[in-house]
Amino acid sequence: MKTSKMYKFAVISLILVSIFSTSIYAAEGDTLYDMGYEDGGEIGQINAKARALDTYNKDIISGWDIIEKKADLITKYNLDKLDTEYKNGFYIGYRDMFKETYVDSYYDLVVQGVKDIEEGNEMEDKDYYDDGMLQAEKYAVELAIINSEKDVEKAYTRDYNRALPLKQDLVNKYSLQNENTNYVDGFVDGFKKVYQEKYDKAYIEFSTKKSGEQISEYSLNIEGGSIYSADKALMLEIPKGTVYLSKKIYIKTLNNMQDIKTTNKEIISGIYDIYAESNMKTYNNMLIKFKYYGQENVGIYRVTKDNQLEYIPTALVNGYLNAYIRKGIFEREKIVVCLDSQIPRDILGHWGKQELVTFFKRGIISPNEYNNVAPDGFMTREQFVYMVDRVFKLENNEILNVIPKVTLDMFYDKGQVSEYTKASMERLLTLKFISGYGNNTLMPNKLITYEEVEIILRRVTLDSTLNWSTVQQSLMIDKGILPNLASKSDRAVKSEVIYLLNKYLD
């Protein structure tokens, strides 16, 4: 193959010379020397590449100065009868380009050869590494099963790191002292990877078997999918593009309901604990569905960390209770279905039924003695403050732990503040979301205006663009109603304010 390449170079060279020898005329502005220099340079390049390849393959030290003599070139390329000026140019061009091309070509071949050797070594290292990973698998599985079962029996939390061997422990335990370094690295990495996966899976299996709980597992990826609880009562629909990194997601069916506070509610389903192997960011809402036949005084509730029940907006659609886990950072959700109180009469058929029901079932609004909530009536300042406190869960605001508390004692009309709103009033005062009036009064029973709603929510949400006129437009588009179009200084309608606040509920 090398000889044929060199032969090809020689043939090309002779063809070029035969062309030159038949007709050599200087173009306008070129001398015969220039033409000879150009022609000689082209042939010098061809010969230099062939020579560099030959010397490299023969493992001969590079020597660019081994250039044919001028007389030999003239004879080789039949230049005897050509003008002396042309022959001089030919030789100089050949010499210059041969030197330059030879050095570059030989250098490129040496560099490529080193790369080939390095790549060969890398491939060999990778083979050792992969072999180490493969050999570690069976040992990791055996130890993970043993340790996970021990942890379950001792009622330890699930933590694969608890008894995961260190690198030196693995080297000693499995006699790796004389193995290739890359083999050892592959063994250690492979062991840790398989051990973690098998430990977590085995721990869940052992704990499930011990407690009688049932767990469904699903490998979630960008394609989404539908996940069912073990008893098929709950379905979680996850749209495509909800996550981009693959995660395992679980639904655990729990039986113990003793600790859940069920005031005015009756749990009619199992408890379903939905969680992922680690916190994950979701880019779409996930839909929870329960098969259901019955009255509308029912809802899907989440079980909070303190075992309270918190209503999730629920719709009954074609025999299914539907509720959404909103997009964002998903940690976990414990879900139950409850029968609850009858919905107040004046909510039924109202354009804001969905939002009003949510606020009612979360205990943010309460009916009067006639079982009405007066959605189209007005609301007082203290009622609005209470709603804001509940919606934004200000009691969990850590800033309250580091700034001086503002109490109601400094206000002349503190006695007018309802007992159920006192804590909310003090939290909003402390956080400077409200400040009262210049005469040291709060006027808790004064009807709140749209302008006051706007100002307070701008402070709470840190959104300086919040504008009630935008809310009015949204009401017309979203609900198809004509809202109160009076001045911002007019009294705010309760259902319209609740419509806005509902957007901030989690």
Number of domains in the chain: 4
pLDDT digits (tens, 9 = 90+) for 286-308: 999 999 888 778 999 999 888 88
Asked if 315 and 284 touch (Cβ cutoff 8 Å), the reply is no
pLDDT of 7 higher than 80: no
Residue type, 95: R
| 165 and 224, same domain (yes or no) | no
| 301 and 333, same domain (yes or no) | yes
Distance CA 452, CA 390 (A): 18
| 203 and 218, same domain (yes or no) | no
Distance CA 159, CA 123 (A): 36
Distance CA 50, CA 123 (A): 31
User: Of 92, 121, 150, which marks where a domain is finished?
Assistant: 121
Tell me phi and psi for residue 272, to 5 degrees. -115, 115
Distance CA 238, CA 226 (A): 6
How far are the Cα atoms of 388, 394, 395, 433 from residue 399, in angstroms, in the given order? 17, 10, 10, 13
Confidence (pTM): 0.57
| 298 and 417, same domain (yes or no) | no
Out of 34-48, 192-206, 244-258, 407-421, give the one with best mean pLDDT: 407-421
| Residue, of 155 and 179, whose pLDDT is higher | 179
| 417 and 351, same domain (yes or no) | yes
pLDDT at residue number 9? 38
From the number of C-beta atoms within 10 Å of its C-beta (0-12, 13-18, 19+), residue 259 rates as: exposed
SS3 at position 266: strand
pLDDT digits (tens, 9 = 90+) for 117-159: 555 555 566 788 998 889 888 889 989 988 988 888 887 888 8
Q: Residue 300 maps to which CATH number?
A: 2.60.220.30
| 416 and 399, same domain (yes or no) | yes
How far are the Cα atoms of 23, 53, 79, 96, 112 from residue 46, in angstroms, in the given order? 22, 11, 18, 13, 20
Helix (H) / strand (E) containing 396: none
| 133 and 279, same domain (yes or no) | no
Local confidence band at 13 (pLDDT 50, 70, 90 cut-offs):
very low
Beta bridge partners of 298: 339
Distance CA 443, CA 434 (A): 12
pLDDT at residue number 15? 36
Asked if 421 and 429 touch (Cβ cutoff 8 Å), the reply is no
User: Of 121, 143, 168, which marks where a domain is finished?
Assistant: 121
User: Of 211, 233, 256, which marks where a domain is finished?
Assistant: 211
> Phi/psi class of residue 480: alpha, beta or left (left: φ > 0; alpha: ψ in -120 to 50)?
left
What mean pLDDT, rounded, does the chain reach?
85
Q: What integer is the mean pLDDT of 367-387?
A: 93
For residue 204, the enclosing domain spans 129-211
| 498 and 412, same domain (yes or no) | yes
**For the chain, how are helix, strand and coil distributed in percent, rounded to 5?**
50, 15, 35
Task: Give the number of residues written for the chain.
Answer: 506
| 297 and 387, same domain (yes or no) | no
pLDDT at residue number 119? 52
| 69 and 218, same domain (yes or no) | no
Distance CA 411, CA 399 (A): 23
| 349 and 487, same domain (yes or no) | yes
From the number of C-beta atoms within 10 Å of its C-beta (0-12, 13-18, 19+), residue 284 rates as: middle
Distance CA 357, CA 453 (A): 21
How far are the Cα atoms of 235, 236, 241, 253 from residue 279, in angstroms, in the given order? 20, 17, 17, 20
pLDDT at residue number 103? 81
The DSSP output letter for 344 is: P
pLDDT at residue number 156? 83
Of the ranges 27-31, 44-48, 458-462, which one carries the lowest mean pLDDT score? 27-31
Q: What integer is the mean pLDDT of 193-200?
A: 89
Residues 6+ apart with CB under 8 A from 135: 187, 190
pLDDT of 210 higher than 70: no
Distance CA 441, CA 379 (A): 18
Asked if 290 and 351 touch (Cβ cutoff 8 Å), the reply is no
| 331 and 355, same domain (yes or no) | no
